[in-house]
Structure 1
């Protein structure tokens, strides 16, 4: 059969090429997707995206484009970053799914609601949906639907329900943050599918309701540099393999129900900068092996049941800046190891069982900002030396933090982020604390040193519930930044220094239950502190004050002994006293009559007593 010449098919081929529809250009698809994204938002929040008009370009707010391979290539969206714009409405999953080449999506700090979808672009590398109003569960399909994911931040939403035990991410993931939600149940046994190949640097499940034990598989993720599991309901012991995480820089397991001892293997995390295990049920003594953590800056073991003395080898932790060991059962005298922590800014040993005298070096730390030794058994005198060492306490250095009214008690915050390019954890902490000293609830004697009240940078000073004597130093008036002053429940005598009434920054004053005497300062500065001088019967004011001002200490002591009679004086006072006496005598007579009329009572009271020699 003869075949037709090839050129006869040429018109049909041309017709076929003309009639075949061309693929839609990415620019038009991405532009339409962004406009659909804007249309899905609530009307008030659309206004911030008013720049989204005309051809798609990098001038559109929050939009970044892929560089074109050739001049004829249409632009396509590489990143969409719209954080903190108060965007509201249901999460716009459908329009976002059309951005086929989207690599970075940041919609953090908005008010988007709804559940997380599994239809986001598979090309996504960095996804940040933190600080929104997302609800529901974390989809189990999320890791499989986003195989290229490197960072995932879903923190500060309203996600609930337990995580699926099969939830496991690829080795590409660098940072995973589910913190500040309401997730419950056990933690997934394998956060990453292949721990040996994983590049995970940051894992943050803090501030949720996770329960059960810490999965031992976490200690196999050797790449981890930051592990935050605080403020959950985790129980059991700290995994013994925690020392395998040799790259770990931050470990926060505080505010859980963990028990057992601080594992000695923790010394293997020799790069640790930040260690918080406070608010658990840990027991045992402080581990001397922790001296291997010579880079450690923050150590918080507060509110546990840790006992024993502060071991001398801890002197090796010379980089320590914040030490919080309060609320334990630590005993003994202050170890010389503490004196080696020359970078200290914050030291709290409150509510332990420490004893002995305060060492002479107690106030000699050059960067000290807060010192709390309250609630112990320290005896002797407050050391009169080293007060001029700290630039912060003497008002010569700046204070990192907020005004004192917002930071008593002090607060410590840590920030962690990941440099995915350099594969490095960026860690920092903020100490929000007014410069202060608290030596209350001890057994300290003697007078208040002049050097202590010469620290012009102090904003908080508490020496209450001791056995301090002598007069209040006159130099107290020079503490112009002082906001809180508490000398109550001591044995201080003499007059109230007039300079106290002139301290304009003072917000809380308590000089009650001492042996203060004499007239009050004539200024009005003390009137805003009612009850600040209660329990000082020698204090006087108004007419006749001069006659009482010279009351001797012996007379004032007798006045204290008989002060309970003071309530009977005044209008109708003697009537009340008479009624009290009549009532007492009547009760006594009735009791005696009952006793004498009862045979059993008489035999019991008047039975003979047998004495043997």
Structure 2
């Protein structure tokens, strides 16, 4: 037997597989990819593979170092693939001593240490793939000795130092990938001296300076270049103009701040994918028909009208620029009516006017984001014809009127973001028919009426944001019907796939603004992990439903600034995924449930300005929050507020003081009354029993009466007479 392929067969229990295979002396090719093998028996000192030329052990379950029996492989051994295992340790010298080795893949393991300088001795290597490990140190300069090398993949490691100029000697190199490392320094013409065969150049997310002369003529004709996060600017790279075979250009976050040169747009007509996002590129897009399948110019300084598109364009991302003019000019352009566009993101620009009925010509749209512009008017009824639509974002415009019921025809919609517009209406009941919805954001619109119970039919809902409206009534008790908020999850798995569009050489992720912990944040790739209910700043009343604690997967809950009463649900501690809870500025009463001490993931808590009382439950978690998170509850005590005994003592002192004051007042009045009675009856008793004193007392009263009559009566008569003589 010369060839054996058992790939994907379950050999997990075959402990002696290596000894069995070594008994096939004529075997030259052995493929055991994905067989769930648990060990390569590193303790073995010898394995008889004298005829073997190709060995593929990738995608197994090895969790040990590379064994030294590889030194027994024949001198004619050509290909070794140990990728996608859990191999540990360093690259052993025995691997690099295989003289005729042409293909070596150790990708996606846990290998450490430096790439050995002896790698330069494997002079027959054509493919060297060491990506996705933990290699550190510099790229060995001896790699320049591998004159036959066609592929060098070192991405996703921890390599540092400068890139050796000896790489420029690899005259047969087709693929160079050093993405996601910590390499520093300059890349100049010397690094490419003899790379005439280079087709794929990838050095993204590596802090390198691409420093070449403006008149440099590259020796290569690239098909794919990815230099995201490399320092290329501020000038626009002129050498690109000489690349006539380029299909993919990715230079995001590369520090380019110049104006787009005149040659650029015509040059792009044959390029499939262009990503120049997050630079400071200036200028207008001329009146030509853009042709790239994937065009990302996000976060630059482009201005003027939106461009014309050919039917080839699938993704157009122009967000965060200064494009202006009526949106209808773009939607209604005759050439654009033939479009096949799947993604249109022109958010955060200066576009104006109404969304016209021309929206019906964009039937292929899956993601439409026109948020944060100056759009006005109503959402056109024809939006219901966009049946492929998965996300609709019109946030932060001046949209008026209502939400057209035709929108429910878009049964694939997963995200609706109409926040920060002017929609003072009831939330439509038909919203419950959009069962694919995962995200619903209607905050800051003026919505009125009750929260419809039909929202509870949205079993896939992950984000419900109705904050800052005029909603009234009770919080629905049926929120526990939203399955994605109740089904257990280990916390690391996404609740749904990323909202966006994936393309062979690119991707688009939908962005959503949320206020999970009091501050507005942008969520993109991590949106799929969010579970949130925000009903804050409304006029909701009643108690917090006891069904709320059944939302085990909820991470952010905000019910603040309403008119809620009653107690905090006792079982709220079962919501162990909660990271933020805000119940402030309501009329909640009673004690804080002791179960809240179980919320170990909590990083934000606000219970301020309610009528809560009693002791704050003791736990490291609840005591980690500052006093302002509890203030406005006079009867609440315990760390971080004043200790309960102080409040009890103050209350006791107040009651004692009041009792003391009452006692003193009572004693005063009782004493005064007793004194009056004693004095009164003493005088009466003396007058009653002593005749001489009684006669003297009555003579005293008679004398006073005579004195008043003699002295006061004449004067009163004189005064009355004078008054009568006064003229009227």
Q: 1:499 aligns with which of 573, 578, 595?
A: 595
Which residue does the alignment assign to 2:229?
131
Q: CA 1:492/1:84 → structure 2, altered by over 3 Å: closer, same or farther?
A: closer
Q: Are 1:395 and 1:458, in contact at CA under 8 Å, matched by a contact in 2?
A: no
Tell me the residue number matched to 2:671.
none
What corresponds to 1:84 in structure 2?
180
Distance in 2 of aligned mates of 1:313 and 1:533:
46
Deviations 1:332-370 (A, max 9, x none): 111134222211221111111111111112233211111
Partner of 1:562: none
1:141 Cα deviation after fit? 7.0
Where does 1:231-246 land on structure 2 (aligned, <5 Å)?
231-238=320-327, 239-241=330-332, 243-244=336-337, 246=339
For 1:437-452, what aligned pairs fall within 5 Å after superposition? 437-452=533-548
Q: CA deviation at 1:182?
A: 1.3
Is the 2:231–2:255 contact (alpha carbons within 8 Å) kept by the matching residues of 1? Answer: yes
Give the Å deviation of 1:496: 2.2
The Cα offsets for residues 493-549 of structure 1, whole Å up to 9 and x where unpaired, read as: 222222224432222221221222344435565332222221122335523766999
Residue among 276, 285, 297 paired with 1:178: 276
Q: Tell me the alpha carbon deviations over residues 59-110 of structure 1, each in whole angstroms, 9 at most, x when there is no partner.
A: 75579xxxxxxxxxx9844333333344444333365364444333323333
TM-score after normalising by structure 2? 0.60
Unaligned runs of 5+ in 2: 1-122, 124-135, 156-169, 511-524, 638-642, 653-728
Q: 2:577 aligns with which of 478, 481, 488?
A: 481
3-state DSSP class of the match of 2:232?
strand
Counterpart of 1:568 in structure 2 is none
2:144 aligned to 33, 44, 52, which one? Answer: 52
Instruction: Give the TM-score of the pair, scaled to structure 1.
Output: 0.70
Task: Tell me how far 1:112 sits from its aligned partner.
Answer: 2.8
The partner residue of 2:248 within 146, 151, 157 is 151
- State the Cα distance separating 1:134 from its structure 2 match: 0.6
Check conservation: 1:93, 1:119, Cα contact below 8 A.
Answer: no
Q: Is the 8 A contact 2:171 2:197 kept in 1?
A: no
Please name the residue that 2:422 is paired with. Answer: 329
Give the corresponding residue for 1:267: 360
- Contact 1:380–1:446 at 8 Å: present in 2 too? yes
* Cα deviation 1:221-249 (Å, max 9, x = unaligned): 22100001111122222313465253211
**SS of residue matched to 2:139:** helix
- Aligned 8 A contact 2:480 2:548 in 1: no
CA contact (8 A) 1:456 1:481 kept: yes
Give the 5 Å matches for 1:16-35: none
Give 1:438 shift.
0.7
CA contact (8 A) 2:296 2:316 kept: yes
Q: Distance in 2 between matches of 1:93 and 1:208?
A: 28
1:310 equivalent in structure 2: 403
RMSD of Structure 2 on Structure 1 (CA): 3.3
SS at match of 1:244: helix
Q: Compute the displacement of 1:428 (Å).
A: 5.7
Per the alignment, in what secondary structure is the counterpart of residue 144 of structure 2?
Answer: coil
Q: Which residue of 1 aligns with 2:19?
A: none
Question: 2:644: which partner in 1?
Answer: 542
Q: Which residue of 1 aligns with 2:609?
A: 513
* 1:462 positional shift: 0.9
Alignment of 1:317-466 (within 5 A): 317-385=410-478, 387-397=479-489, 414=500, 416-418=502-504, 430=525, 431-466=527-562
Q: Deviations over 1:100-139 (max 9, x none)?
A: 4433332333313325666224633222222201113325
Q: 2:670 corresponds to which residue?
A: none
SS of 2:211's equivalent?
Answer: strand
From the CA coordinates, give the structure whose radius of gyration is larger.
Answer: 2
Stretches of structure 1 that go unaligned for 5 or more consecutive residues are 1-30, 32-43, 64-73, 404-411, 420-424, 551-613
| Alignment CA distance shift 1:94-1:397 (3 Å) | same
Please say if 1:225 is aligned against 2:323: no
Partner SS state of residue 169, structure 1: helix
Kindly state the Cα deviation for residue 165 of structure 1 after the two structures are TM-superposed. Answer: 3.8
How many angstroms apart in 1 are the aligned matches of 2:403 and 2:421?
Answer: 12
Tell me: CA distance 1:474–1:254, structure 2 relative to 1, closer, same or farther (3 Å). Answer: same
CA contact (8 A) 1:456 1:478 kept: yes
Q: Judge conservation of contact 2:443–2:465 (CA < 8 Å) in 1.
A: yes
Q: C-alpha deviations, 1:311-348, integer Å up to 9, x for none?
A: 11100111111222111112211113422221122111
Checking the alignment, whether the CA contact within 8 Å between 1:52 and 1:61 is kept in structure 2 is: no
CA-CA distance at 1:180 after TM superposition: 1.4
Matched position secondary structure for 1:468:
strand
Counterpart Cα distance in 2 of 1:308 and 1:394: 35
How many residues get paired?
476
In structure 1, what is the equivalent of residue 392 of structure 2? Answer: 299
Residues 447-478 of structure 1: CA deviation (Å, up to 9, x unaligned): 11111222122121111111111222212122
Change (3 A) 1:333 1:141: same
Match of 2:518 in 1: none
Q: Residues 440, 258 of structure 1: CA spacing in aligned structure 2 closer, same or farther, 3 A cutoff?
A: same
1:256 counterpart (349, 358, 377) = 349
